[in-house]
Amino acid sequence: MTNFTIRQLRYFEALAQHRHFGRAAEACSISQPALSVQIKELEQNLGTQLVERSARQVQLTSFGEALLERVAAILRSVDELGDFARAAQGQLTGRFRLGVIPTIAPYLLPGLIGKLNLSHPALDLHVRETLTPRLVQEVLQGQLDTAIVALPVLEPALAEMALFEESFLLVRPRSDAAQPAPRGEDLRNMRLLLLEEGHCFRDQTLGFCNTPAATARDGLDGSSLSTLVQMVGAGIGVTMIPQMAVEVETRSANVSCTTFAGPQPGRTVGMIWRKSNPLADAFSGVGEVVRSCAGRAQVRR
């Protein structure tokens, strides 16, 4: 009989994700030698090699690649078993893993964390900030319980809960504040500063001004909204930011914000979670807390 543990499977999944023993061990909060021992023991119990070890990177063997999908399914089932027990208690308690995209996290989380601590005192909140594709993947794989993203995601295995609508504003140098508000198509003739590729907000900005991603100018990308706004203040160009970011990002920059003439750009922000998660009803309650915090964040503008 094959003898392996759920813990060993989690270590293997972490190693497959990080492709490095040191980083995987750090993610699992154990020492690298201990992780190596557990992976070696798992290989011995299964009777075959799972990884190819090298000084720089770990590669999965063909069997390891095939096993990874099954391991992910097993671990999702184990996590959902725990969620099923938590759901039977009638309230959301214990570990809660929440993902948030970078164009929302800095402006929503300060108020949301405090609000959740009050409304769900038994909740052990863990927050992860990263890009939408990674959040979707981690929710699907059971590494996150839910995530706050721009909708729609259109993933069949995920439920979507729309929370609020948010408009985008134009940020331009303060010296241009008296100029007429432009239309979306006018942005194509301006030096438009964008978030780097991978951010859904970049795609939304390009969509509003009808600019194909392939024709976006090189060398005008930033890694954060803060960087873009400061570049605008330095006179390099113009950019767009979501409404909830205005107060935080513009208070120390030499810029002005304005709405657009004509149709207003914006996005729908919501939460996603696996349809199979037993805690789905409780997640709706968390969504209501997020909605109330988002309303206050936008009013502060």
Give tens-digit pLDDT for 161-170. Answer: 999 999 999 9
- DSSP assigned state of 55: S
Pair 76, 111 in one domain? no
Mean pLDDT, range 210-228, rounded to an integer: 72
| In the block, residue with structure tokens 């919501």 | 270
pLDDT of residue 269: 96
Where is average pLDDT lowest: 10-14, 127-131, 211-215? Answer: 211-215
Q: What does the pLDDT read at residue 262? A: 80
Q: What are 22-80's pLDDT values in tens digits?
A: 888 988 889 999 999 999 999 998 989 999 887 677 889 989 999 988 888 888 777 77
Clarify whether residues 159 and 299 are in a common domain: yes
Give the model's pLDDT for residue 216: 53
Point out the domain boundary residue: 56, 84, 112.
84
User: Both 97 and 78 in a single domain?
Assistant: no
**Residue 32: what pLDDT?**
92
Give yes or no: residues 111 and 247 share one domain. yes
Q: Kindly report, residue by residue over 93-149, the tens digit of the pLDDT.
A: 788 899 999 999 999 999 999 999 888 888 889 999 999 999 999 998 888 999 999
Q: Which three-class secondary structure state does DSSP give residue 192?
A: strand
Position 294 in a domain: yes
Instruction: For tokens 């959301």, name the residue.
Output: 92
223 in the Ramachandran plot: left (φ > 0), alpha (ψ -120 to 50) or beta? Answer: alpha
The overall average pLDDT reported for the chain is 87
Euclidean distance between CA atoms 250 and 169, whole angstroms: 12
Domain final position from 84, 106, 128: 84
Helices H, strands E: what count in the chain?
A: 10, 11
pLDDT at 208: 87
Is 53 inside any structural domain? Answer: yes
Are 260 and 266 in contact by the 8 Å Cβ rule? The answer is no
My answer on whether 47 and 173 are in the same domain is: no
Residue whose token pair is 């513009």: 250
Q: Is residue 39 part of a domain?
A: yes
- Residue 206's domain is classified under what CATH number? 3.40.190.290
Secondary structure in 3-state letters for 59-122: EECHHHHHHHHHHHHHHHHHHHHHHHHHHHCCCCCEEEEEEECCCCHHHHHHHHHHHHHHHCCC
**Residues 295 and 179 occupy one common structural domain:** yes
Residues 188 and 144 reside in one and the same domain:
yes
CA 199 from chain centre, in angstroms, equals: 10
Q: What angle do CA 10, 153, 212 make, to 5 degrees?
A: 120
The domain tally of the chain equals 2
Given 35, 50, 84, the domain boundary residue is 84
CB 275 within 8 A of CB 140: no
Q: E-assigned strands of the chain?
A: 51-52, 59-60, 94-100, 123-129, 146-151, 158-173, 194-195, 221-222, 239-242, 255-258, 266-274
Same domain, 148 and 276: yes
- pTM, rounded to two decimals: 0.75
238/285 same-domain check: yes
* Residue 264 belongs to a domain: yes
What average pLDDT does this structure show over 259-287? 89
Matching residue, tokens 């059971």: 142
Residue 233's pLDDT is what? 94
Looking at the DSSP bridge assignments, the partners of residue 270 are 149, 162
CATH number (domain holding residue 57): 1.10.10.10
Question: With 90 as the cut, is the pLDDT of residue 243 above it?
Answer: yes
- Predicted confidence (pLDDT) per residue in 94-105, tens digit: 888 999 999 999
Q: Are residues 96 and 52 in the same domain?
A: no
Task: Give yes or no: residues 154 and 280 share one domain.
Answer: yes
The answer to whether residue 1 is domain-embedded is no
At residue 263, the 3 state secondary structure works out as coil
Domain residue limits at 284: 92-301
